[in-house]
Amino acid sequence: MASLLSLFPTIVSPHPYLNRPFSSSPTPPSRRYSFYWKTKFQASASPPSPNPRPDVVVTREKGKNGKLINALANHNIVCLELPLVKHTQGPDLHKLSSLLQDVMFDWIVITSPEAGSVFLEAWRAAGSPRAQIGVVGTGTASVFHEVSQLPDRTLDVAFFLQKLMLNLIRSATGKALASELPKNGDRTYKVLYPASVKADNEIEEGLSNRGFEVTRLNTYNTVPVQEVEQVILKQAISAPVVAVASPSAIRAWYNLVSKQVNWDKSVACIGQTTALASKKLGLKNVYYPDNPCLDGWVEAILEALSVYHEQGNVSPSTTM
């Protein structure tokens, strides 16, 4: 059982909260977004309190919420940082570096930013051998951006399942990657799949059914938070939207709030996999982008907030 984590949440409010000019995104997802923000600012004529109630709870591991917080700050959205998960070493991590040295894989399949970060550390320890990477989503691909620009080009993101392919496969998920990963001829392609302990088997099963030889290593685990201080949880429950980036995070949130109240607010997921996990828990107000990436995640959050406003609610940060 996961140990009780000592959490110190951070309420992050754009500063100055109301004196900065509103700047909408270059391509607003819908008219109701601009309507929401216009109405929000009209309702926020008086200076806010130093600690406004949050609009959104951000739940990634401590230190990994900065990009989302900054993106939401551009829309004057107040965030409460409440990490719901932490990453730990997986049972197969010690094998990864030596395997990269000893075996030449045709593909290395990476399906999350954390899997990418763990892989890169082991890849460097192995001497940066040649590696051909297949990834799911813009967020995961961004982990490899810097190293893929190096002159020696020993690491190549050669297959990128993203929004441009959605007309064919509908969503950028691991299952879709398993069905689309390139394979020419009849020879056996070797695939390395560094994964979370909690990841299901759909990728290796899908690839194996297509004739790939798959080696899966469980290189990291995601440990959920079991408890938080009640005053902190009360703040989080008051927010209209909780933003989650993994099935583990939404399960941790559900386990926390189900003990307290009949929570019926909105969940904004980074992608379809997390959204499906949310719906399996019985949550109804679930939003997610087709392509798992930061920009899409922000749009999902904006949509959730807009619907909340249209239903006659007032965003918490406007009532202070």
Mean pLDDT of the chain: 81
Both tokens assigned to 109 = 């399949």
pLDDT band, residue 5 (cuts 50/70/90)? very low
> Mean of the pLDDT values across residues 203-216?
96
**In a domain? residue 16:** no
Number of domains comprising the chain:
2
Contact between 2 and 225 (Cβ < 8 Å) = yes
Residue 34 pLDDT:
37
Residue 193 has pLDDT above 80, yes or no: yes
> Mean of the pLDDT values across residues 6-22?
35
Residue 173 has pLDDT above 60, yes or no: yes
Residue 209 has pLDDT above 70, yes or no: yes
CATH number of the domain within which 241 lies: 3.40.50.10090
Q: Which residue has the higher pLDDT, 77 or 171?
A: 77
Give the domain extent around 190.
87-221
Residue 105 has pLDDT above 70, yes or no: yes
Residue 290 pLDDT:
84
> Mean of the pLDDT values across residues 123-129?
96
Residue 299 has pLDDT above 80, yes or no: yes
**In a domain? residue 34:** no
Domain end marker among 186, 205, 221 = 221
Whether residues 206 and 98 fall in one domain: yes
Contact between 155 and 147 (Cβ < 8 Å) = yes
Q: Which residue has the higher pLDDT, 122 or 256?
A: 122
Domain end marker among 200, 221, 242 = 221
Picking from 23-27, 94-98, 116-120, 170-174, which range would have the lowest pLDDT averaged per residue? Answer: 23-27
- pLDDT tens digits along 35-50: 344 334 333 333 444 5
Domain end marker among 194, 221, 248 = 221
Whether residues 144 and 215 fall in one domain: yes
- pLDDT tens digits along 15-68: 322 222 222 333 334 333 433 443 343 333 334 445 678 999 999 998 899 999
- pLDDT tens digits along 140-166: 899 999 998 888 889 999 988 764 444
Whether residues 240 and 304 fall in one domain: yes
**In a domain? residue 230:** yes
**In a domain? residue 30:** no
Whether residues 137 and 63 fall in one domain: no
Contact between 247 and 272 (Cβ < 8 Å) = no
pLDDT band, residue 197 (cuts 50/70/90)? very high
**In a domain? residue 165:** yes
Whether residues 152 and 129 fall in one domain: yes
**In a domain? residue 278:** yes
**In a domain? residue 25:** no
**In a domain? residue 108:** yes
